[in-house]
Amino acid sequence: MTQVLVLVETADGAPVAATAEQFAAAAILGEPAAVVVGKDASKAAGALGKLGAVKVYAADGDFDARLVTPQVAALAAAVEAAKPSAVIVGSGPDAREAGARLAVRVGGAYQSDVIGISKDALVTQQAFGGAFTVTASGKGVQVISLREHSIEGSAPAAAGELVKLDISGDSTPFAKIESKQTEATASERPSLQAADIVVSGGRGLGSKEKFALMEELADTLGAALGASRAAVDAGYCEHNMQVGQTGTTVSPNLYIAVGISGAIQHLAGMQSSKTIVAINKDPNVPIFDIADFGIVGDLFQVVPQFIEAVKVRKNG
């Protein structure tokens, strides 16, 4: 069986939550194998074996202050060694960049915004800002950028056999990060991309003060908090919360849109969510066209009742 490589992203040395799903996707196409880069990368082999990696290609080194070129070098070396049919990367900006660079380097096909994979290597993608869902295949090594919450199940545990990669001789310079900005605001909430539930508020909230209702809703549900661009532009919340074509793309199990009309640019970033709930006082807005459940009403009446009902359920 041909190997299918997964570019493993780590946080504090441990694989991020999306890794298990990426191995499940790899298992559909072949034999999952991991590519992991960084300080003590080899130490992740045991954990990655449990997630389904038959082999773990590890490039050890301190690459923290580097852009994605070490990941690209490691992927290219692993492609050379494993001759895989496909490579799976995440859907965050770094993973997408690494995937696209790899595809150019190995003459493969880069497939972005993938929301489904079949055994015969056909992928389902969202295209043109989510206006179309297409099925595609690619020539050569398929490099698949997989959106989170797209694949169910898990890969069976495997040996996690360690194969060390030496990427020190790679001809591409490892671009250095000269300056780095980190978000000053620390949040206890899950990140937008990883969250199981996302609640987003729009212009209908009316002000920054009233947007606090969305924070309460998010915290009651243990959800990530997002927003429409209109809410961001009006200063109700921070820019990194924007969902949509020019913001973050999310694909949670549950998306709750509050006071959002459903402009195409917003839908592009959330319409692959599994279940969509919309709350809006206007029954004719486009968000209701894609919602699984719609509540027509004043959000300032609906949301507090919703929060109370969730609290009662949690406590009961």
For ligand FAD, which residue of 50, 281, 290, 307 counts as binding (CB under 6 A)? 281
User: Looking only at residues 117 through 136 of this chain, which bind ligand FAD when binding is defined by CB under 6 A?
Assistant: none
CA distance 254 to 275: 5
Name the minimum Å distance from CB 226 to ligand FAD: 9
> How far does CA 3 lie from the centroid of its chain?
23
124 CB neighbour count, 10 Å cutoff:
17
Q: Which one, 50 or 281, has the nearer CB to ligand FAD?
A: 281
When asked if residue 270 is in the footprint of ligand FAD (CB under 6 A), the reply is: no
When asked if residue 187 is in the footprint of ligand FAD (CB under 6 A), the reply is: no
Name the minimum Å distance from CB 289 to ligand FAD: 13
Residue found under tokens 């999306």 = 18
For ligand FAD, which residue of 285, 288, 294, 306 counts as binding (CB under 6 A)? 285
Number of residues that bind ligand FAD (CB under 6 A): 27
Residue nearest ligand FAD by beta-carbon distance = 244
Q: Which one, 156 or 304, has the nearer CB to ligand FAD?
A: 304
Q: Which of 235, 216, 208, 226 minimizes the C-alpha distance to 303?
A: 216
Name the minimum Å distance from CB 43 to ligand FAD: 39
Q: Where are the alpha helices (DSSP H) in the chain?
A: 18-29, 45-51, 69-82, 93-106, 208-221, 229-233, 264-267, 287-290, 299-315
For residue 313, what are the contacts with CB-CB under 8 A and spacing of at least 6?
A: none
Contact (Cβ atoms closer than 8 angstroms) between residue 229 and residue 244: yes
For ligand FAD, which residue of 204, 241, 250, 276 counts as binding (CB under 6 A)? 204
Give φ, ψ of 22 to 5 degrees. -65, -35
Range in contact with ligand FAD (rule: CB under 6 A) among 27-35, 190-198, 199-207, 213-221: 199-207
For residue 27, what are the contacts with CB-CB under 8 A and spacing of at least 6?
A: 4, 52, 155, 156
When asked if residue 226 is in the footprint of ligand FAD (CB under 6 A), the reply is: no
When asked if residue 30 is in the footprint of ligand FAD (CB under 6 A), the reply is: no
* Length reported for the chain: 316
Q: Which of 220, 228, 227 minimizes the C-alpha distance to 315?
A: 220
When asked if residue 210 is in the footprint of ligand FAD (CB under 6 A), the reply is: no
Range in contact with ligand FAD (rule: CB under 6 A) among 82-90, 111-119, 216-224, 298-306: 298-306
When asked if residue 282 is in the footprint of ligand FAD (CB under 6 A), the reply is: yes
Range in contact with ligand FAD (rule: CB under 6 A) among 70-78, 157-165, 209-217, 260-268: 260-268
For ligand FAD, which residue of 64, 80, 292, 298 counts as binding (CB under 6 A)? 298
User: Looking only at residues 75 through 114 of this chain, which bind ligand FAD when binding is defined by CB under 6 A?
Assistant: none
Q: Which one, 144 or 295, has the nearer CB to ligand FAD?
A: 295
For residue 261, what are the contacts with CB-CB under 8 A and spacing of at least 6?
A: 202, 203, 280, 282, 285, 286, 287
Q: What angle do CA 190, 240, 128 make, to 5 degrees?
A: 100
For residue 106, what are the contacts with CB-CB under 8 A and spacing of at least 6?
A: 76, 79, 140, 141
Q: Which one, 30 or 202, has the nearer CB to ligand FAD?
A: 202
**DSSP annotation of 204:** G
| Interacting residues toward ligand FAD by CB under 6 A | 202-204, 228-231, 242-247, 259-261, 263, 265-266, 269, 280-282, 285, 298-300
